[in-house]
Chain A
Amino acid sequence: MLLELRDVSVSYGKVSAVRGISLGVPDGAIVTIIGGNGAGKTTTLRAMSGMVPLTGGEIHFDGQRIDGLTSDKIVARGIAHVPEGRRIFPDMTVEENLRTGAFLRRDKPGIAADLEQVYERFPRLRERRRQMAKTMSGGEQQMLAIGRALMSAPRLLLMDEPSMGLAPVIVEEIARIIEDINAQGVPVVLVEQNAELALELASHAYVLETGNMALEGPADELHDNEHVRAAYLGI
């Protein structure tokens, strides 16, 4: 396993958000965490990036413990995070946002090559590269957030609700992009409320319910699971 969570618990004050969950992300895979509002999906992802402290359990990445490290140290290990709500830097240009994603890298030719690759993947970002990020549409901002994460040349990509608030056409585009990124060798952890989309993309899925791990299994099996169909797919 590239990333492994063992018995992870997280609390905000006295409110426990995630209770003793375990999950694994094999190298090269797309793994999804689905669940309703407040199930603890975002908290789990934030724990992986060191944005919230654990109250119990361990997180291992590439054989080393990473829980307790600050976010910037975890990025340095190779975990990029596309946060919920995109969180681009509004008063920086598109290109400045992208270059900020490469903050820890010193290999100039490598950064230039990756920037070119991001622009090829997202031609709209190239068109708008001198524009302030806040002036872009929701879909473009999501692409910018993904592009920024890719600029760190990650070994694992965490994505929190990339489809949130986007038109169906754009959601479809984002889905193809996620597949494409994965096909180029970057494993992805995808947190989604859009379970249909998530189960289509992922090979393995975890279902969180009120902070507990309710179900897990191969994505196509969960797609046919009666409980999942009733609760998350609306079938």
Chain B
Amino acid sequence: MLELLAQTGLNAVYAASYISLIAVGLVLIFGVMGVINFAHGELYMAGAYTVVLMYTDFQVPFFLAVAMGLIFVGCLGLAMERALFRPLRDNPLGGLVASIGFLMILQAVAAMGFGVRMEHIAPVTQAVIEFSDRVRLPVARLYVIIAAVVLLTALWLFLKKTRFGWALRAAAQDPEAAALQGISIKQTARIAMFIGAGLAGIAGALTAPLVSVNPHMGHSVIITAFIVIIVGGVGSLEGAVVASVAYAIIHTFVTTFYDGVIADIVGLSLMLLVLIVKPTGLFGSADRA
């Protein structure tokens, strides 16, 4: 029993890692741009297909392919900022609708380029860390955990310690007041889109060998990410991380001890509960909601 708990705990840490990478990016984009990026799950999918193309088809080393995923999807984010969100600034609903359109385009492009069947990616490594007979952590999963810890720490340091990080936080709290301090809103928008999209891209790239890669894989991910950012408090990066961890633990344990459908129901019920008890989310402030 103890071993089962330990194994489920490890699974939860892995799930928390990739969920928080995705959710934090979504929150960052919402905070700085004021737009809900429905295409975020498809950015995750694009990261996974970058690995399919580069690692499986072109035999590029895995970690290079992952880095390419980060940069390629980050650039997709820049393109979205320029083509969709900038012209639609001050029109959050328009931005949302445009991102839904972009989601469909990305799905269609993936389906046309790779087909709708699942892609199988050769495992990057078969290595497994064995804590005991029944407590095992595949190294491929460890990569995801390490990447999440490193990237989220780096993001936190960037936001707290650097000039542009401050600019991003200021722009997220009050874009107009930020502009009055000399902060370029165009520039903060570009930085937020690159980082936010890039995090989704690297999450997709790293998990590509561990999940089934298909054009609709972004779907379940975006729903999870929405639950997490609503629970955490829309606009709060800390809230997104804390809620990701909490959600992953609950979801993984319920999946293990009951089943996956029940786990989804529990997740959504918890979201409703949080909305009833604290409508701004755990870490949200009233003026953002």
Taking beta carbons and an 8 Å cutoff, which residues of A are in contact with B? 49, 51, 70-72, 75-76, 80-81, 83, 87-92, 96, 99-101, 103-104, 134, 148, 152
Taking a contact as CB atoms closer than 8 A, the residue among A51, A90, A148 that contacts B287 in the complex is A90
In the assembled complex, 21 residue pairs joining A and B whose CB atoms fall closer than 8 Å, in A order, are A49-B180, A51-B176, A70-B185, A71-B180, A72-B183, A72-B185, A83-B176, A87-B176, A87-B177, A89-B170, A89-B173, A89-B174, A90-B285, A92-B166, A99-B166, A100-B166, A103-B167, A103-B170, A103-B181, A103-B182, A103-B183
Q: Contact at A72–B174, with CB atoms within 8 Å? A: no
Please encode chain B, from 167 to 194, with 1 for each CB lying within 8 Å of some chain A CB and 0 for all others: 1011001101111111111000000000
Q: Given contacts A51-B176, A83-B177, are A91 and B183 in contact (CB under 8 A)?
A: no
In the complex formed, the residue of B with least CB distance to A105 is B182
Task: For the complex, give the distance between the alpha carbons of A70 and B185 in Å.
Answer: 9
Taking beta carbons and an 8 Å cutoff, which residues of B are in contact with A? 163, 166-167, 169-170, 173-174, 176-185, 285, 287
Q: Contact at A51–B169, with CB atoms within 8 Å? A: no
Q: Contact at A75–B180, with CB atoms within 8 Å? A: yes
The count of A-to-B residue pairs whose CB atoms sit within 8 angstroms is 68
Residues from chain A with Cβ under 8 Å of B163 in the complex: 103
Task: For the complex, give the distance between the alpha carbons of A91 and B176 in Å.
Answer: 16
Q: Contact at A70–B176, with CB atoms within 8 Å? A: no
Task: For the complex, give the distance between the alpha carbons of A75 and B181 in Å.
Answer: 7
B51 to chain A, nearest CB (A): 36
Residues from chain A with Cβ under 8 Å of B178 in the complex: 89, 100
B135 to chain A, nearest CB (A): 40
Task: For the complex, give the distance between the alpha carbons of A103 and B168 in Å.
Answer: 12
Residues from chain B with Cβ under 8 Å of A89 in the complex: 169-170, 173-174, 177-178
Taking a contact as CB atoms closer than 8 A, the residue among B167, B169, B185 that contacts A91 in the complex is B169
Task: For the complex, give the distance between the alpha carbons of A104 and B174 in Å.
Answer: 18
Task: For the complex, give the distance between the alpha carbons of A134 and B173 in Å.
Answer: 11
**7 new A-B contacts at CB < 8 Å, known A75-B179, A148-B181:** A51-B180, A72-B185, A75-B180, A76-B182, A92-B173, A100-B178, A103-B181
Residues from chain A with Cβ under 8 Å of B183 in the complex: 72, 100, 103
Residues from chain A with Cβ under 8 Å of B170 in the complex: 89, 92, 100, 103
Q: Contact at A100–B181, with CB atoms within 8 Å? A: yes
Task: For the complex, give the distance between the alpha carbons of A83 and B169 in Å.
Answer: 19
Residues from chain A with Cβ under 8 Å of B169 in the complex: 89, 91-92
Q: Contact at B173–A71, with CB atoms within 8 Å? A: no
B168 to chain A, nearest CB (A): 11
Q: Contact at B182–A75, with CB atoms within 8 Å? A: yes
Task: For the complex, give the distance between the alpha carbons of A88 and B180 in Å.
Answer: 11
Q: Contact at B166–A96, with CB atoms within 8 Å? A: yes
A151 to chain B, nearest CB (A): 8
Taking a contact as CB atoms closer than 8 A, the residue among A88, A96, A152 that contacts B182 in the complex is A152
In the complex formed, the residue of A with least CB distance to B176 is A51
Residues from chain B with Cβ under 8 Å of A88 in the complex: 177
- The 6 A-B residue pairs with the shortest CB-CB distance in the complex, in nearest-first order: A75-B182, A71-B179, A87-B177, A104-B182, A89-B173, A72-B184
Task: For the complex, give the distance between the alpha carbons of A90 and B176 in Å.
Answer: 14
B228 to chain A, nearest CB (A): 20
B240 to chain A, nearest CB (A): 14
A120 to chain B, nearest CB (A): 21
Q: Given contacts A89-B173, A92-B173, are A83 and B180 in contact (CB under 8 A)?
A: yes
Task: For the complex, give the distance between the alpha carbons of A51 and B178 in Å.
Answer: 12
A228 to chain B, nearest CB (A): 30
Residues from chain A with Cβ under 8 Å of B184 in the complex: 70, 72
